[in-house]
């Protein structure tokens, strides 16, 4: 990166050389390239750590690519990552809304069917705060969603993880991943 900057600057920026670039790269990539070059020069440890993170994300993304049968691409209607994410994309719309837990509460159930106390609070922190359980169906779908979201985030696909959370009926989880 430093050699490229010494040889004429960042190819996505007209400001490094003063020469207008006829085909600039998108702004986020340009900013990422400049930050990496700055870190390489001023803080080589941070630069190396960023390289390791990028390698780990690439490895996880390649695993998702293999599992999805090559359908994880750079196109399609679902944003940057296409419409299909293979094994992590098999959630029905609003599957993780906790309907069964709500129905069980309406029926005055006190246990979850596995012997644990059924939660009486359906807010996102309710089961954890009260040390109680969701209905088994909701608990299973919650576990699957968390595993799928983790795999996407580990692969550097935070936007796809946020989209999955919204589609599965947990927009609060998407907001916690994106900060807003």
DSSP string, the chain: -HHHHHTT--TT-STTTSSPPSSPPPHHHHHHHHHHHHHHHH-HHHHHHHHHHHHHHHHHHHHHHHHTTT---S-SSSGGG-S--GGG--PPTTTTS-HHHHHHHHTT--B-SSSSBBPS--STTHHHHTT-B--HHHHHHHHHHHHHHHHHHHTT-HHHHHHHHHHHT-HHHHHHHH--
Average pLDDT, the chain: 77
pLDDT at residue 74, rounded to an integer: 43
pLDDT at residue 32, rounded to an integer: 61
pLDDT, tens digit, 9 for 90 and up, residues 101-141: 999 999 998 888 888 899 999 999 999 999 999 999 999 99
In this prediction, residue 143 has a pLDDT band, given cuts at 50, 70 and 90, of: very high
Q: What pTM was computed for the model?
A: 0.66
pLDDT, tens digit, 9 for 90 and up, residues 78-105: 433 444 455 566 788 888 999 999 999 9
């Amino acid at each position: 990166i430093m050699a490229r900057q010494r040889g004429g600057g960042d190819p996505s920026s007209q400001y490094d050389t003063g020469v207008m670039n006829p085909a600039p790269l998108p702004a986020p990539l340009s900013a990422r390239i400049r930050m990496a070059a700055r870190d390489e020069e001023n803080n080589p440890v941070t630069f190396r750590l960023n390289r390791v993170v990028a390698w780990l994300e690439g490895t996880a993304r390649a695993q998702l690519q293999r599992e999805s049968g090559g359908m994880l691409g750079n196109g399609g209607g679902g944003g940057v990552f296409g419409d299909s994410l293979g094994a992590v994309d098999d959630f029905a719309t609003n599957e993780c809304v906790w309907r069964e837990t709500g129905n069980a509460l309406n029926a005055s159930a006190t246990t979850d069917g596995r012997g644990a106390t059924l939660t009486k609070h359906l807010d996102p922190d309710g089961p954890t705060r009260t040390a109680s359980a969701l209905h088994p169906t909701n608990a299973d779908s919650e576990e699957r969603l968390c595993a799928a979201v983790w795999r996407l985030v580990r692969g550097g696909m935070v936007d796809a993880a946020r989209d999955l959370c919204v589609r599965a009926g947990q927009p609060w989880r998407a907001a916690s991943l994106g900060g807003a």
